[in-house]
Amino acid sequence: MSTKANPIDISNESLWHSRFRDSARVADDALRTLKKAEKAAYPKGIAYAKLNIAAASFLQSKNDIALKYLSETFQWFENNKQEKGYVRALLLKGNIFESFSDYEKTLQIWLEAYNASIEINDIEVQGEACNQLGLIYSRLCNFPRALEYFNKGLKIREELGDEPAVASSLNRIGMVYRQTKNYIESLEYYFRSLEIRKRINQVSAIPWTLLGIASTYEDMKKYPEALDNYELGMTGGDKRCTTQCMMGAGRVYSLTGNSRLAEKRLEQSLLMAQELNSMALIAEAYSALASHYELYKKSDKALKSFKQFLKSRESLHSSEIQSRLSNIEVAHAVEKSEQEKEIYRLRHVELKKAYDIIEEINRDITASINYASRIQRAILTVPGEIRGLAGRLFIVYKPKDIVSGDFYWFTQVKKKLVVVAADCTGHGVPGALMSMLGMSFLEEIINFREVTESGQILNELRNEIQRALHQKGAREEQKDGMDIALCVIDKSKNMIQYSGAYNSLYLVRNGELIEYPADKMPIGIFDRSDIEFITNDIPTLPGDIIYMFSDGYADQFGGPNNKKFKYAHLKEVLISVHKLPLKEQKKKLEKAFLDWKGDNQQIDDVLLMGLKI
């Protein structure tokens, strides 16, 4: 089942093959095709249309326009090198360098185009690349290599059955043989080209072949044959070809003694060259006239023509210099554009490699931290391990990162329940390490040493932290440690002992919240580390509920004015929910926190516990 070709593709392909016949019309038609492709949002069509505009503009010496569209078309073809348009773009880029005789760079680009045509297995563009390589090698006077590529191109074009292209290759080969003075071989190829062009009625191309044949005969000093072909070549071709044939005929008439016809043809060729505004042909015509007048002893006219030749040549060199400078600017801009894209590509590759390395490292670190989180949660006391505790407790626990510097801890010793809510220095990994250190010391102090007086527990915990962290009180050392609220609950005596390091205790009774302030000193190094923590003895009543917490909840930014939640607000929420079942209280408190936070980042670990006495 065949797929119908896109009309934009068909138009672009037709325009590419028409570019030499009428480059101005091709440029206009390609611009219209570009607008259609842009309207259809068709990237391939856009790229090929821009390539056609660039090629047609270059043929009109509109280098600035050619550069603009060539640079833009490379942006798509660089990512679609399998397209024949990529090779065409390279060939056009080579034309820019060839136009100001940078043959080394041209050769490099066209070899790249040739290799690319082989990679995409596009025989047609491979033949075109061969033809261009043959031309550049002939410019470099490397005629064996020129013939090698011209013959490769000829073979490809013969296999494709592209007769106009075959005739062009034959003409090029004839030119090389003429340049190397192999006149018999040169004429053989020219006549083969002529036979094809006559058979397929390629009227506009025939005179160019006749010009090549005539030039070969002139070099061989076979003047009658040269004259016949020059005269035939004056009709049917473009003005440039007609001018050169007329000039050649004038030279031959001069050499064969026909002064009248020589002057007529040479003067006609000069007028046509002037109409074409071609300084190269004008200079060549004056040179031919000067030689003719000198041969026929017309000194005044010879001198006048020679002066005009010098003047024309000077003007030619000036215009050539301007053209070369313009082409150098174009080529430089094309190269700069290509280099910038290559730099971008290389940077992208380097950044991608760096990103992959960072991502791999990040995966490893994250995996390690996730494992550490499992260890931390395993160490955290499970309320269900203590009889009756799970039914009387809720915990809102929201680490800022994967692991937390906040921790909760419970134990039962001598029929007393010890409840801890702690906030270690920092969060994340450093806070988690400190929390594990704290839990380890609480286990040692309470369960092994059987210390159950709340103030004394905090005193010993402070000593252990200072010892473990080698804290001596020096000004420059880190003040690592923790804030903590610790309660020892004795149900048999309806009594709570509470001691705190910065973290207060809230008790709600009959709709009233009572705050028991903490000591304003941390578990860690402090200016007055000799001061002991106060033990608060608090009688309890049935229905009492206590709340213990870190500062993460109250310090969270959010709300309508992006301010801290604050402790006053927290107290209001606790009073409003304290009569609800514990599960409902937890849901309400979590919702209040998240609603307040909104789209803001969580700034710290969050811990809030409620325990019914």
Structure confidence by residue, pLDDT tens digits, 539-574: 999 999 999 999 999 999 999 989 999 999 999 999
- pLDDT for 344 equals 55
CA distance 8 to 14: 10
* 3-class DSSP state of 200: coil
Q: Which residue has the higher pLDDT, 207 or 310?
A: 207
Angle among Cα 119, 123, 124 to the nearest 5 degrees reads 125
For residue 201, what pLDDT band results from cuts at 50, 70 and 90? confident
| pLDDT greater than 60 at residue 533 | yes
Per-residue confidence (pLDDT) for residue 471, from 0 to 100: 79
Segments of 319-437 assigned E as strands:
393-398, 406-413, 416-424
* Cα–Cα distance for residue pair 464/487, rounded to 1 Å: 19
CB 171 within 8 A of CB 189: yes
- Residue 33: pLDDT band (50, 70, 90) is very high
- At position 341, the amino acid (one-letter code) is K
In sequence order, what are the beta bridge partners of 413? 416
The sheet with strand 505-509 has its strands ordered as: 393-398, 606-612, 545-549, 505-509, 512-516
Please state the rounded mean pLDDT for residues 282-306.
Answer: 89
Distance CA 165, CA 175 (A): 15
Helices marked H in 21-102 = 23-39, 43-59, 63-77, 84-99
Concatenating the DSSP letter of every residue in 126-195 gives HHHHHHHHHHHHHHTT-HHHHHHHHHHHHHHHHHHT-HHHHHHHHHHHHHHHHHTT-HHHHHHHHHHHHH
Maximum average pLDDT range among 196-210, 314-328, 384-398, 579-593 = 579-593
pLDDT at 4: 66
Q: How far apart are CA 560 and CA 135, in angstroms?
A: 76
pLDDT of residue 355: 67
Q: Give dist(CA 100, CA 375) in Å, integer.
A: 73
Strands 523-524 and 557-558: unpaired
For the chain, percent of residues with pLDDT exceeding 70: 88
| Predicted local confidence at residue 325, as pLDDT | 45
Write the pLDDT tens digit of every residue in 92-151: 888 777 766 667 777 888 888 888 888 888 888 888 889 888 888 887 788 998 999 999
For 225-253, write each residue's pLDDT tens digit. 999 999 999 987 678 889 999 999 999 99
Mean pLDDT computed over 162-174: 91
Give me the pLDDT at residue 2, please.
44
Q: If you average pLDDT over residues 577-583, what whole number do you get?
A: 94
What is the spatial distance between Cα 224 and Cα 249, in angstroms, rounded to a whole number?
Answer: 10
Q: How far apart are CA 225 and CA 222, in angstroms?
A: 6
pLDDT at 349 over 70: no
In this predicted structure, what is the pLDDT of residue 333? 52
Q: Give the 3-state secondary structure of residue 527.
A: coil
pLDDT at 111: 84
Q: Is 461 a residue whose pLDDT tops 80?
A: yes
Q: What are the tens digits of pLDDT across the range 84-96? A: 899 899 988 887 7
pLDDT for position 537: 96
* pLDDT of 1 strictly over 70: no
Name the percent of the chain lying above pLDDT 90.
51
Q: Please check the confidence at residue 60 and state whether its pLDDT lies above 80.
A: no
Give the pLDDT score at 220: 95
